[in-house]
């Protein structure tokens, strides 16, 4: 089951399947994709936090019992469903924050990797142990772990399946901070971001998503063009004027 709680402009999405360490079966993942799609389109929601229910797990992966019976076609569809959820987190026009409250393994680590920011509780354990099941990370782990931690670290972690604790995750850049309770840290950042210009955040996210791919020259050109275009927005005028007038800006999102 997926719970969505709205508090002002922040949506807290909780994956709740505690009897299986919040592992994702078809129903839960389909539900998650649907809720993320709604939140992506909902302009009243400015920031999305993703977490797991209970104290033990964020998400302990894709459901291994379900996967043990898949044929090739079903496995491809299962991979596509996870990719869709990851792409929503990665591309929705607002920041996404993973609050990693315990095990984030396999598909769980991959969902966290698709978020813009990751915070971990000190008890968190992260990794891509798929190799121990004779399979590979199938929801973005072979790509996004390298983008977040660098290719050398990513290769070691996906080849060995080694699980890292919160402190090592912080050291290798897999998480942005370690904090207990982790949801407090996620809410603190979400509140900060919710007060910023939504059009500036959306535009930065789009550009940052291009940072490690495509043509560098073209990406810089896109930044330059978009930077100029933003000067037509009320938020840019307001932000610049507020600084000059020594007051707090009030952003309207366009």
Binding interface with ligand DAK (CB under 6 A)? 20-21, 23, 60-65, 75, 78-79, 82, 103, 105-107, 129-130, 133, 135, 137-139
Q: How far is the CB of 69 from ligand DAK (least distance, A)?
A: 12
Rounded Cα distance between 95 and 145, Å, is 19
Q: How far is the CB of 142 from ligand DAK (least distance, A)?
A: 10
Nearer to ligand DAK, 105 or 182 (CB): 105
Buried b (16+ CB within 10 A) or exposed e, 230-248: eeebebbeebeeeeeeeee
Omega prior to 181 cis, within 30 of 0: yes
Nearer to ligand DAK, 70 or 207 (CB): 70
**Residues 191 and 10 sit within 8 Å (Cβ to Cβ):** yes
Catalytic residue list contains 130: yes
Six token digits for residue 234: 């009320």
Q: How far is the CB of 201 from ligand DAK (least distance, A)?
A: 30
Which residue of the set 8, 19, 38, 130 is catalytic? Answer: 130
Q: How far is the CB of 98 from ligand DAK (least distance, A)?
A: 15
Which residue of the set 8, 55, 90, 110 is catalytic? Answer: 110
Q: How many helices (H) and strands (E) does the chain have?
A: 11, 10
- Residue 83: how many CB atoms within 10 A of its CB? 17
> How many residues does this entry show for the chain?
254
Nearer to ligand DAK, 93 or 161 (CB): 161
Q: How far is the CB of 8 from ligand DAK (least distance, A)?
A: 33
Nearer to ligand DAK, 56 or 210 (CB): 56
**Residues 136 and 163 sit within 8 Å (Cβ to Cβ):** no
Closest residue to ligand DAK: CB criterion: 138
Strand (E) positions, the chain? Answer: 2-7, 10-15, 47-52, 57-59, 96-100, 103-105, 117-120, 125-127, 164-165, 177-178
Nearer to ligand DAK, 77 or 208 (CB): 77
**Active site members:** 110, 130
């Amino acid at each position: 089951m997926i719970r969505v709680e709205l508090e002002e402009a922040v949506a807290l999405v909780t994956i709740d399947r505690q009897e299986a360490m919040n592992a994702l079966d078809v129903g839960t993942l389909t539900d998650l994709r649907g809720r993320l799609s709604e939140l992506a389109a909902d302009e009243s929601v400015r920031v999305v936090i993703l977490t797991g229910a209970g104290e033990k797990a964020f998400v302990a992966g894709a459901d291994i019992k379900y996967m043990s019976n898949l044929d090739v076609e079903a496995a491809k569809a299962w991979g596509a469903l996870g990719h869709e959820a990851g792409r929503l987190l990665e591309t929705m026009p607002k920041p996404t924050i993973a609050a990693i409250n315990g095990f984030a393994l396999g598909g769980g680590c991959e969902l966290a990797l698709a978020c813009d920011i990751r915070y971990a509780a000190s008890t968190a354990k992260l990794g891509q142990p798929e190799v121990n099941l004779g399979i590979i990370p199938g929801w973005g782990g072979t790509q996004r772990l390298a983008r977040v931690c660098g290719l050398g670290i990513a290769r070691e972690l996906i080849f060995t399946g080694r699980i890292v604790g919160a402190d090592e995750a912080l050291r290798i850049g897999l998480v942005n901070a370690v904090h207990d309770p982790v949801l407090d840290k996620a809410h603190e950042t979400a509140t900060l971001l919710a007060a910023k210009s939504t059009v500036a955040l959306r535009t930065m996210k789009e550009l940052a998503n291009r940072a490690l791919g495509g043509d560098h020259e073209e990406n810089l050109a896109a930044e330059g063009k978009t930077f100029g275009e933003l000067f037509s927005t009320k938020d840019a005028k307001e932000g610049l004027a507020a600084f000059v007038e020594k007051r707090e800006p009030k952003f309207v999102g366009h």
